[in-house]
Amino acid sequence: MFLFSLWQATISLGDTEIIVGEGGGVGYLDMLLIFLVAIFILLLIFFWLRNFLKIKGQTAYGVKKVILMVQVPKDVIGKENREEINVQKTQDMIGVAETFFSSIGGLKAEKGWRSWLWGRQDQISFEIVVKDGLIYFYVACPAYLRDYMEQQINAQYPYATIEEVEDYNIFNPQGSILGSYLTFKRGNIFPIKTYRKLESDPLNAITNSLAKVGKEDGAAIQFVVRSAKANWRDEGVRVASAMQQGKKLKDVTKTNIARELGKTLKEATVSTPKEGSLAKPEEPYRLSPLEEEMVKGLEEKTSKAGMDVNIRVMVSSKTQAESQILLDNIANAFTQYNIYQYGNSFKKSAPSSLKKIIKEFIYRQFNEKKKIILNTEEMAGLYHFPLPATETPNIAWLESRNAPAPSNIPKEGLLLGINNYRGIKTEIRIKKKDRRRHMYIIGMTGTGKSWFQAGLAVQDVKNGEGVCFIDPHGDAIQDILERVPAERAEDVIVFNPSDFERPLAMNILEYDTEEQKIFVINELLAIFDKLYDLKATGGPMFEQYMRNALMLIMDDPESGSTMLEITKVLSDEDFRNYKLSKCKTQVVKDFWEKEAQKAGGEAALANMVPYITSKLTPFIANDLIRPIISQQKSAFNFREAMDNQKILLINLAKGKIGDINANLLGMIIVGKILMAALGRADAPEEERKDFYLYIDEFQNFLTESINVILSEARKYRLCLTIGHQYIGQLVKGGDTKFKDAIFGNVGTKVCFRIGVEDAEYMAKEFAPVFSERDLINITKFHAYIKLLIDNANPPPFNVGTLPLEGGDRELAQKIKELSRLKYGRSRKVIEVETLERTKVGEK
C-alpha cells in the first residue's frame, strides 16, 4: 500500500513542484529521492528477511538429515591384497569414488522460488571424523535421498556396510574449539592436483593428520556438497579458449568491464596509421609449456561434472594451543593438492565468528561466501573411503563383510536369525527336512553360540517339539526353563546331578533287547576309553575283563545291574559266584571259571581288579554321582521321551559336579538317546516324530555314538545340533575321524568368530564369499552360515542372531520343582535300596 500511494503521488506531480501544505512544497527531485530511499529500505528489509528464512530453512534441513556411517573391510580383495599395490592400481581404486561423485554431480541443481527463498536442501555432507580415538567416515543426506545414496555407495563399494546412526559429537565441553574453512587462493576455474597426478593415495596424508588426535579430543573434516549449476563451466571455457588464441592469462582473467574499458582506451589513444605506411602487425603471444599445461588443466576441470563445495575443519582439544596445532596439521595435509603457479591452492579462511561456524558445522549448512567448485576427479581425491593399502592406524574398518541371503530362503521353519544386507532384512529359516541333516556351530568363547542354540531350543519348545539340551555350563538350561510355556510344564524333565536331595536315576546298563545289550557294553567301553585313553594304557586286557564283567552282571539284571555291581563282581568272590550261578551265557561262565580265576602273573585277577576298579571309584565314591548311577531303574525312558516329545534339560554344570563326572553323564545320555533312536526301527518312518538334540561343547562327549548319529540317525528323525570352540578339539593324537565325520555329514554350518588356525580351514568352507579375515573378525552375536536348503548348499551369507524374549523366572522355578517331585527320588530311600542290594549273594 505504501508503494502504491507513493506511485500515485509521483504521477500527480506538476511540472516543477507539488504543494504539500501551507508552509511550502517539495521538489520533484526530492520526491524521487524519497521514493528511491524507500525502495532501498524495502529491499534491505526484503533481503534481510530472505537471509533469515534461508538460515532457518538450512537449520531445519540440517536437523532432518539422515546420518549414515559407512564402513569398508580392510581386505576387500582377499589374498591379492598381500601383493604390492602399485600407483596405477591405487588410482583405479580411487577412481571408484569418482564414479560415485559423478552420480551426485549429475543431479539436477534445485531451482525455483522455494530454494531461492529457503535455500537448497539437496546438499550432502561427506565427513571424516575422529572420536574416541577412531576415524569414521560418514555421509549425511536428506531423507528423500537416502535410498539413492545407499544404492550409489553399494554400487561402487559392494562390501561396504551402511548403518544409520545418531549424530556424533566431537566437542569437549571443558575444552577449546577451533574451526576454519578451506577455500581457493584463485578463482574456481583453476584446478588443483587430483589423485591422477599424485604418486600415492592422498587420503593417507589426511587420515595420518587425524590419527594424531587423542582419545579425549575430537576433529572432523566436513565436505558439504551439492551439484553446481550448468553455467559454472563458462568462465573456464572462455579463459582456455582465449589463451589458445594467443592471449595472456592476466588479460583474459580481467572482469568484462575492465576488459572493455581497456580496449576502448587503447583505441582512443593509439593513432591510426597513415595511408600507405607499413604498419608492423602485432605478433600473437606464444604460451609457455607451463601455460599450455594450465590450459589443459582448465579444459580437464570443465570436462567433468562440477559440485559446489564447502570444506570445514573443526577441532576440539583441552587447550587452545593444542586445538590450534591440530587445526594447522589437518589444514597442512591439503597442501599436497596445491598447484602453485598455474593452478590453484588451498588456504585457510577464518570464519566471521566461531559461533557461526560451529552452528553451520552442526546443521551442515552451506555458506555461499565460502563456496568453491570442484569437479568429480578433484572431489574423489579429497574424499573417498579408505583403500586396502591404507595403513593409517585407528581407522574404524568394517570388521567382517556381509553377503545377501539366497533368493530361495524358506518362508517357514525354524527362525535362525536375520540377514541384513544393504538395508534389506531377510528372515533366515530352515525346514524340518533340512534339520535332519544336522547343524554344526563353531565359535570362540563369548561370541554368542550358546545363546544362539538356546534360542533355537526355545522355539522348538514353543512349537511343541521334542527337545534334549545338554548344557555343560547350566546358564542355557535356565534361559530355556524361563521360556517354557505353562501348558508344556508337564513335558519338562530337568536332569540336574547337583540336586543332592532328589537325584534322578540314570542306569547306563539298562536295556530292553539283546541288540541293545551289546550296544550298551560297547558304549560303556567307548566312554571309559574316552575318559582314560585305555587303548594307550590298558590295552586288550582291560577290555576283556571289563566286557566279561559287564556281560556277567547284565545277564541277570534282577540281581543287580548297575555300575556299582561292576566293582563288586570283580572284587567280591561270593557275589561273582552268585552271578555266575545266574549266568546263561556259557562263554562268559567259561571266561571267569576257566580263565580269569586261574590266570597267573600280570593277567591274574588279583592284579587286574585294582586297575579296573580304580577307573570306577571316582564315580562310585562320589556322593553326587553314586545315587544316580547306582539305581536299577532309570528315572525316565528315553524312547518314550522321544516319541512323546518331552523336553529333556540336562544340566551338567562342571563347576558343581566336576569335569570327569559331567563328561561321563553326558556320554551316557548321548549313548542312551542314540540307542532310543535306533530302537525306532520297529516303527514306520512316517510315524517317527522329529526329536532335536542340542549339545553345547560337544567335544567333551565325543564317542562313536556321535559318528553314528551323523551318518545314520537322520532316518530315525534324530536331529543333531552341536557347538564347540575350535577344530583342534575334534582331533586326538592325529586321529581326524570325528572332524571328517562332522564336515562330511553335517548339512548346515554356522561360524561365529574363530581363531586364526581355524579360519584358515573354515575359509575353504565359506569361500569365495568370505575370507579368513572375515571369519576372524565377525562381531558378537553375528555369524556366517552355510545353510542347507532342499538338500543343497547355496553360497554362504551373514546372519544376526535374535535376542531371547523375556522369561518368567517364577514359572521356571515351579517347573523345576515339578520335575524334581515327578522324576527324582529321596536320597535316603536310594541309599537304603542300594545297601539292601549289596547284600545279595552274601553267605
Other beta carbons less than 10 A from residue 818's beta carbon:
14
259 — phi, psi (to 5°)? -65, -45
Whether 700 and 472 have beta carbons less than 8 Å apart is answered as yes
The tens digit of pLDDT for each residue in 186-223 reads 999 999 999 999 989 999 999 999 998 988 999 999 99
Q: Which helix (H) or strand (E) holds 221?
A: strand 218-227
Q: How many whole angstroms separate alpha carbon 664 and alpha carbon 841?
A: 29
pTM of the model: 0.79
Residues 65 and 55: their CA atoms lie apart, in Å, by 15
Is the CB of residue 472 less than 8 Å from the CB of residue 798? no
Q: Is the pLDDT of residue 396 over 60?
A: yes
**What are the φ and ψ backbone dihedral angles of 692, each rounded to 5 degrees?**
-105, 120
Does residue 249 have a pLDDT over 90? no
Strand partners, 469: 649, 694
Query: Rounded to whole angstroms, how far apart are CA atoms 191 and 345?
Result: 8
Q: How far apart are CA 765 and CA 731, in angstroms?
A: 18
| C-alpha cell recorded at residue 367 | 555458506
Residue 342 CA to residue 293 CA, distance in Å, equals 8
For 531-575, the pLDDT digits (tens) are 888 766 666 888 899 999 999 999 999 888 999 999 999 988 999
- Is 410 in a helix, a strand, or coil? coil
User: pLDDT (tens digit, 9 = 90+) per residue, 66-110?
Assistant: 999 999 988 654 444 445 567 888 999 999 999 999 988 887 776
The arithmetic mean of pLDDT across residues 701-723, rounded, is 89
CB 640 within 8 A of CB 450: no
Residues in the chain: 843
- CB distance 306 to 373 below 8 Å: yes
| Cα maximum dimension of the chain | 158
- Residue 702's nearest CA partner among 736, 679, 675, 677 is 736
Q: DSSP letter at 473?
A: S
Q: What is the pLDDT of residue 309?
A: 96
pLDDT band with cut points at 50, 70 and 90 for residue 230: confident
Q: Which residues pair with 180 in a beta bridge?
A: 313
How confident is the model over 368-394, as pLDDT tens digits? 899 999 999 999 999 999 998 888 889
